Amino acid sequence: MRSFRDAKAMAASLRDAVEGRKLPLSHSDALEIVARQFGFADWNTLSAKIRAEDAPRRPKTKADEPRFKRAIPILRIFSEEKAKEFYVDYLGFRIDWEHRFGENLPLYLQVSRSGLPLHLSEHHGDGTPGATVFLWMRGIKAYHAELTAKDYRYYKPGLEEAPWDAWVMTLKDPFGNTLRLSEPFAADDPRA
């Protein structure tokens, strides 16, 4: 007995039988009829099933599982000057790259510090002002001291104990976005 893997041979036999009775039937029409006989909507669907069945099987491994590297937040900004003043001059990030599609068009840039990248965008559809980004880190007390020493005119962050057994420092940029930095109390805590 034939199976759906024999569909092409079955279509050829059907076409030959019908042509012997002087009824015109194209090869593609024969394939469509055979596909329907096996309960598939059309030949493309059956053909995909045949290819899937004939594909070599291998056991699933960890490499087959979805993996994520890291998230890079996109924060909406409205002023290149204010963004650079806050993220570069105050927070100590460096500019990795900048992009504009043309002169007098919105800026998109990446800033980073200690392996943490942030994307800052003037583009209308990139992010909503007022977003919050939560960041685990180490060295929060030293970072707090660094920012305090800069005596930034527009922001004086505090360092607080959080109910999740960690220090927390909240930074608000000039565009309403919040960076919530947190360091666990325990040095061996795997969260950071």
Q: Looking at residue 35, what DSSP letter applies?
A: H
The better pLDDT of the pair 145, 128 is held by 145
> Phi-psi region for residue 133, left (φ > 0), alpha (ψ -120 to 50) or beta?
beta
Which range has the worst mean pLDDT, 58-72, 79-93, 150-164, 165-179?
58-72
| Of 1-5, 48-52, 164-168, highest mean pLDDT | 164-168
User: Residue 172 pLDDT > 70, yes or no?
Assistant: yes
What's the rounded Cα separation, in Å, for the pair 26 and 5?
20
What's the rounded Cα separation, in Å, for the pair 192 and 181?
11
pLDDT category at 32 given cuts 50, 70, 90 is: confident
Which residue type, as a one-letter code, is found at position 4? F
Among residues 183, 187, 76, which one has the least CA distance to residue 134? 183
- What pLDDT score does 2 carry? 60
Percent of the chain scoring above 90 in pLDDT: 59
